[in-house]
Amino acid sequence: MWSNIRIGIIGKGIQYERISKILRKKKLKFFVYKPKNDNYFDKKKYKILEGCNVIFILSPNKTHLKYIKSLSKIDIYFVKNLQLPVLRS
């Protein structure tokens, strides 16, 4: 059951330490995507991230929506402190 799950993690801060420790304890492999800054984009690494079916979004809050939109084909998202903008009509 767990062997075919491809896990991706975006970000490598304090939350990463917690989540990666749990995943290692469960002996689950995962891929980490850590942009150097807001304008950084590594196509090759991002392509690997797109191949995951579970994503932990552990990046700064302002980037959450961007990642959710660009990775819309992912089965499951886990987002730390999800804070999306309020849309008013």
Asked if the structure places residue 73 within a domain, the reply is yes
Q: With contact defined as beta carbons under 8 Å apart, do 56 and 9 qualify?
A: yes
Asked if the structure places residue 1 within a domain, the reply is no
CA distances from 5 to 21, 38, 52, 53, 55 (A): 17, 28, 8, 7, 11
- pLDDT value at 71 more than 70: yes
pLDDT at position 82:
56
Mean pLDDT over each residue of the chain, to the nearest integer: 81
Q: Looking at residue 66, which CATH number applies to its domain?
A: 3.40.50.720
Quick one: average pLDDT of 36-52? 80
- pLDDT value at 30 more than 80: yes
Q: How many domains does the chain have?
A: 1
Asked if the structure places residue 88 within a domain, the reply is no
Residue 18 structural domain: 7-79
Asked if the structure places residue 34 within a domain, the reply is yes
Higher pLDDT, residue 80 or 26: 26
- pLDDT value at 87 more than 50: no
Residue 85 confidence class, pLDDT cut points 50, 70, 90: low
Residue 89 confidence class, pLDDT cut points 50, 70, 90: very low
The torsion angles phi and psi of 49, rounded to 5 degrees, stand at: -60, -40
Asked if the structure places residue 19 within a domain, the reply is yes
The pTM for the full model equals: 0.79
